[in-house]
A and B are shown apart, each in its own frame.
Chain A
């Protein structure tokens, strides 16, 4: 016997609709969690990543014993968490003698593991260790620039994968309109060798130059670390093809307040709010004042909407 259950409150319905598969998706959320053993460095790495992605990340602080991303049975917990928190990216930190300061960055597709990259963190410097002016500190949630340096990112399989994953992780939401005044951060990744990437986060300072384009200056602010690639798992081809599918059709936006009539053709409706005649501000043209005062008043009140008390001029 099956029973249809629908959400009882409007809020729960909105939550369900937000998490449903859509044509144009929401920004990916990240789940940050750790395994049985962590080190100090690892803890601070995870915390810093959480701070970088504040609004779009979920941080779990307990240790999880049964998560082993690279083993076949150890992914069920991760998939369950991904389902419950609606996160499609995860950063799993663990520390062991064989793999010190280990981070596994993974992505999920339909709440099943899509691909994994395992990196070790070395030479980690926290955000606190950098000193800079407060003004240029990047705001939370601003869209970052990315700079990838090195031919290794194209030639070496693992580095290519890492590049894609890092882009996905720190990208933020895909926006159509960008405010140029709000660009203030950049992630710089350099392929130092075939298995080592130097990753750092810098703030941008826009300096005035002669042209429209300002001169960019990088100031290191954020965490900087060396990522040593250990293992990785690519998605299988069929899954990859399915995940990369995009629909060519754009979602039809219904034109509002427009209707078609057989006789009159296209008709539009305009809604005007009620005019509160009693509460409207009177015009600033004061007939009672002398000419100079009138003119000076006009000059002053261009753009000033404060309703001034009218001085009764006995002069």
Chain B
């Protein structure tokens, strides 16, 4: 006994971890030679392991086919846990209510007699009692409205009940999350954030819309989106951002004078703006006929000395007059 106590004082044994610790050993001088060090360590190690084995093999053992099995005591060195202790889940709203009222749980049978069909059916699940499918006839009551479908009404009521139950379940789980005791297999995920006030369903954004929005975002940068890093596969912006077209300084061959066309366009726009929109057909017809006669006259006679310079203006004028006529323009047609 004394020897054992002496040994114990020298060596601390933690049987649960199969660990031995010799606290009184110290190296008076560290052996410089590595082999020596290793040998000494192994020697001391052997002593320690022998000490553990002494205690271990003397434990009561049960014989098994692989070998003797001993029951280890729980480890004495305390090591930290890897996860927190599980918290008990808070009672649900129904449980609180039941506790208050003193309602006890009753064991329910799985198979119940169904009055409707006269057979034994499950209480819930596939082939169950009181199923909505099995009801052939619903008798009307005095309180029923003429246009209502009682079968549809039953379905809707059931749906409402199910929704209410789901809502309650969510509330209970939220309470559990507050305490930190959510059951391990349940996860609460956030769906799309609602807009305050409305309950709009999240709209699915189309590809074109996304493209437009991306383009708008790009052009709203300081450099107009020109130097943004493009992702691989991203198409270039649809509106390149150039909104002014300047005419070439030197005109090439081929097409007519671009400058002339440009000025024409501007002029016509201006004039059309200042004229009124409503077209007086009769007046237009009159003017057309007048023009025709004049042309005939000109063709018969010599070329008019009046410069062609005027003509374009006239044409512009005519155009405008064709486009717009004042309301004052007489409605009475003057046809020739």
Distance in Å: Cβ of A266 to nearest Cβ of chain B: 19
Report how far A233 CA is from B16 CA in the complex, Å.
27
Binds B, one of A1-9, A36-44, A57-65, A276-284: A1-9
Residue contact B23 to A151, C-beta cutoff 8 Å: yes
Residue contact B189 to A244, C-beta cutoff 8 Å: no
Residues facing B in A228-283 (CB within 8 A) are 235, 240, 242-247
Report how far A167 CA is from B193 CA in the complex, Å.
48
Residue contact B50 to A216, C-beta cutoff 8 Å: yes
Residue contact A177 to B170, C-beta cutoff 8 Å: no
Q: Mark A212-232, 1 if CB is under 8 A from B, else 0.
A: 111111101000100000000
Distance in Å: Cβ of B36 to nearest Cβ of chain A: 12
Residue B49 at the chain A interface, CB threshold 8 Å: yes
Residue B96 at the chain A interface, CB threshold 8 Å: no
Of the residues A144, A150, A243, contact of B18 by C-beta under 8 Å? A144
Distance in Å: Cβ of A200 to nearest Cβ of chain B: 7
Residue contact B85 to A218, C-beta cutoff 8 Å: no
Query: Chain A contacts of B191 at CB under 8 A?
Result: 1-3
The secondary-structure label for the interface of chain A is mixed
Query: Chain A contacts of B52 at CB under 8 A?
Result: 145
Residue contact B26 to A182, C-beta cutoff 8 Å: no
Distance in Å: Cβ of B61 to nearest Cβ of chain A: 7
Residue B45 at the chain A interface, CB threshold 8 Å: yes
Residue B84 at the chain A interface, CB threshold 8 Å: yes
Residue contact A220 to B38, C-beta cutoff 8 Å: yes
Query: Chain A contacts of B27 at CB under 8 A?
Result: 150, 192-193
Residue contact A216 to B53, C-beta cutoff 8 Å: yes
Q: A174-B16, A220-B42 are in contact. Are A17 and B184 (CB under 8 A)?
A: yes
Distance in Å: Cβ of A40 to nearest Cβ of chain B: 20
Q: A216-B49, A247-B85 are in contact. Are A150 and B68 (CB under 8 A)?
A: no
Other than A4-B166, A4-B186, give 8 A-B pairs with Cβ distance below 8 A.
A107-B80, A150-B25, A179-B69, A181-B68, A182-B67, A190-B45, A198-B37, A220-B38
Q: Which 4 A-B pairs have the closest CB atoms?
A: A181-B67, A20-B184, A88-B82, A243-B80
